[in-house]
Structure 1
Amino acid sequence: MDENYDVVVVGGGPAGLAGALCLARARRSVLVVDAGAPRNDPAEHVHNYLGRDGDAPGALLADGRAEIAGYGADVVDGTVVSARAGGEDGRGARFVLTLEDGRSVRARRVLITTGLTDELPDVPGLAQRWGRDVIHCPYCHGWEWRDEPLAVLGTGPTAVQQAQLFRQWSHDITLVQHTAPDPDDDERAQLAALGIECVAGEVSGVEVAGDRITGLRLVSGDLVPCRAVVVVPRFTVRSDLIDSLALDTAQEEEKGHAVGSYVPSAPTGGTDVPGVYVAGNVTDLHAQVLAAAAAGLKTGTAVNTDLLAEDLDRARTGHGGT
């Protein structure tokens, strides 16, 4: 690992690796720092990624690492604990990033692709089944659970919509209200028209037998049988590095209900801190793997264009280019 880079990419998921690939192919010096905890690690397969549908998440990332290394990018397993803007050195590096092992590196630009954290409803047993038979995205998991009995755990005003959406994959859908507001008359009519049962009552836990979900146990003691549970997590941006750079964050809402936090960005991935870019779930809560990779590529080209403008300015003022 060198001490100075054109770009340090923080986060080695699809967005980060795609951005690094673009920049390394553009002959930029690139370092990727990755903590090795991808958001989709609990899932067995990646879906809706053209040409790689069904691949294991780890295989996709391993191949990505090998590809960027082939173009000269460096990859370090670790965590960036802080970053700050410092005075430019002779190469124009303006940021100092400190890793958890105490090492520091400098960068002309920073691309943050640290993704987000899925905060699950506080129901005993959910977290242990997350990514297996506790799911949230029908486009990621609906096909695998087609025609199975599914229970939608209601925790907000989008529960009815979630139940309606999963109805496309299974005829056996039960909406368990839990802490969600009562459906209004129109919503109840919609659920009835689709044959979706609505069950009142809070859930006390997930029932499991033989390493598979068998149902949701209500506080009343009743059991709602199911083979998988659909939840709506709260999507929370990973904030330590973002806080150290004083990046703004915003809340995204659906029907007046906060669904998560993100870093606002321009279409190019630029943020309100000059020289700091974001891509993937850190700025787009709903981006699936392919969309995150595409965003990383797009932002990578924007970063290179930004660096090119700086190179030209430095060349004109006699400070030299890259």
Structure 2
Amino acid sequence: MSGTTARGGTDRRYDVVVIGGGAAGLSGAVTLARARRSVLVLDAGQPRNAPAAHMHGYLGHDGLPPARLVSTGREEVARYGGEVVESAVAAAERLPGDEDFRVVCEDGTAVVARALLVATGLVDEVPGVPGVAERWGREVLHCPYCHGWEVRSRPVGVLSTGPLAVHQALMWRQWAEDVTLFGHTGPEPAEEEYEQLAARGIAVVDGEVTGLEVADDRLTGVRLSGGRVVPCGAVVVQPRSVARAEALAGLGLSVTAVTAGGASAGSCFATGPAGSTQVPRVRVAGNAADPKAQVIVAAAAGMQAAAALNADLIDDDVRRAVAARRA
């Protein structure tokens, strides 16, 4: 690692350490490096969209493999003098009696930063039906704007595990003509919802789903508890999306519950405008702050948070310069 030596120690010192090297983190790092800040990106290499072969909805990059966007982003960070290190973060805290932060990597090495950009993303917890986790991001999906076009000609099944299942089925009907709602463990639709489903030609199948049928590494159907198999080429689920917050507990950031349709849908960091938090000079961007953000939105949020962090540092630079002049 480059950078300067921290005051009173040997830890490398940076203006900003970016925790997370996905679209939000790398976008923020490029913005900060172009602002002539010393920047270090710590990337655990566990992106939320890793199971997906391609990303969509990113203007100019539609259909690009997510790994290629990361590779290009790393090159752009390096072009402006920033650094990217493949490492998870074990801990982070504000230094006692100081305004700086200390970030400890998984190998025990540590760095010091004046500011932090948290872009650690989320972990998606999918229903525990056999085969769902294995096909996640391939034929097991949740966002029609990400994958609806690709499965438009296939029969699509919606696995009900909560109150949003009917909404999901009606939404996915825009992309696919053959949609089936599997009651599974979710609540029974209300009379009005049954009418809406029938009006849109969406079948409702009662009974618990016990697994997915796969042939030649391709999803072919949904298996019910009674043994019946309903043909399906894609299955829609509602995951719980949980913030990666454990290693950052020492910062004192607030984590807030996320709900959908009145039910728990996971957690994320509580943020204000431009990813601000209750901790000065710590901002959060991407899915860690907005679970619904697609890649292009996460990248934009990373840039906004980085610009705000640079403004925070400019204010601090001015304050220090005035104090030094008066001294």
Q: TM-score, normalised by structure 1?
A: 0.96
For 1:99 and 1:265, locate their aligned partners in 2 and report how far apart those are by CA, in whole Å: 25
Between stretches 299-308 and 203-212, larger displacement belongs to 203-212
**1:61 aligned to which of 56, 65, 70:** 70
The alpha-carbon distance between structure 1 residues 71 and 88, as it changes in their structure 2 partners (threshold 3 A), is farther
Q: Aligned equivalents of 1:312 and 1:254: distance in 2? A: 44
Q: Which one is further off, 302-311 or 93-102?
A: 93-102
Aligned partner of 1:13 in structure 2 is: 22
In structure 1, the partner of 2:130 is 124
**Structure 1 residue 210: Cα displacement:** 1.1
Q: 1:36 and 2:45 equivalent?
A: yes
The alpha carbon displacement at 1:239 in A equals 1.8
How far does residue 240 in structure 1 lie from its aligned partner after superposition?
Answer: 1.6
Deviation of the 1:319 alpha carbon = 7.7
* 1:85 aligns to 2:94 (yes or no): yes
- Counterparts of 1:135 and 1:315 in 2: how far apart (Å)? 53
1:206 paired residue number: 212
Aligned letter for 1:43? Answer: A
Tell me the alpha carbon deviations over residues 170-191 of structure 1, each in whole angstroms, 9 at most, x when there is no partner.
Answer: 1100000111100000000000
Summarize the alignment of residues 188-207 of structure 1 with structure 2, pairs less than 5 Å apart: 188-207=194-213
1:53, distance to aligned residue in structure 2 (A) = 0.3
Structure 1: distance between partners of 2:182 and 2:242: 24
Does the 8 Å contact 1:95/1:108 carry over to 2?
Answer: yes
Offset from partner CA, 1:186-231 (integer Å, 9 cap, x none): 0000000000001111111111111111111111211121011111
Matched, 1:292 2:298: yes
- Which letter does structure 2 place at the counterpart of 1:297? M
Whole-Å separation in 2 of the counterparts to 1:313 and 1:292: 32
Please tell me whether residue 223 in structure 1 is matched to residue 229 in structure 2.
yes
* Displacement after TM superposition at 1:242 (Å): 2.9
The aligned amino acid for 1:101 is D
* Structure 1 residue 237: Cα displacement: 0.5
TM-score normalised by structure 2 residue count: 0.95
Residue identity opposite 1:74 in structure 2: E
In 2, distance between residues paired with 1:100 and 1:88? 25
Task: Name the structure 2 match of 1:314.
Answer: 320
Cα distance in 2 for residues equivalent to 1:87 and 1:31: 22
Shift of 1:87: 4.0
Answering whether residue 54 of structure 2 is matched by residue 45 of structure 1, we say yes
> Which residue is 2:84 aligned to?
75
Cα distance in 2, alignment partners of residues 227 and 245 from structure 1: 44
Cα drift, residue 40 of structure 1: 0.6
What is the CA distance between 1:95 and its match in structure 2?
0.4
1:186 matches 2:192: yes
State the number of aligned residues: 317
Q: Aligned partners of 1:260, 1:181: CA distance in 2, in Å?
A: 19
Note the C-alpha offset of 1:244: 2.5
Give 3-state SS (helix, strand or coil) of 1:109's partner: strand
Aligned to 1:137: 143
Equivalent position amino acid for 2:278 in 1: D
Which position in structure 2 is the counterpart of 1:108? 114
Deviation, 1:283, is 0.5
What is the letter of the counterpart of residue 125 of structure 2?
A: E
Q: 2:243 maps to what in 1?
A: 237
User: How far 1:88 moved relative to its partner?
Assistant: 6.4
User: What is the RMSD computed on CA atoms of the aligned residues?
Assistant: 1.2
State the secondary structure of the residue aligned to 1:27.
coil
Which runs of 4 or more aligned residues in structure 1 lie more than 4 Å from their structure 2 counterparts after TM superposition?
Answer: none
- For 1:23 and 1:255, the matched residues in 2 are separated by 38
Measured in 2, the distance between the counterparts of 1:106 and 1:155 equals 44
User: In the alignment, is the contact (CA less than 8 A) between 1:88 and 1:94 conserved in 2?
Assistant: no
Aligned partner letter, 1:204: T
Equivalent AA in structure 1 for residue 28 of structure 2:
G
Partners in 2 of 1:64 and 1:232 — Cα distance?
30
Q: Contact between 1:279 and 1:295, CA under 8 Å: does it hold in 2?
A: yes
The match for 2:277 among 247, 253, 271 is 271
Can you give the 5+ residue segments of structure 1 that lack an aligned partner in the other structure? none
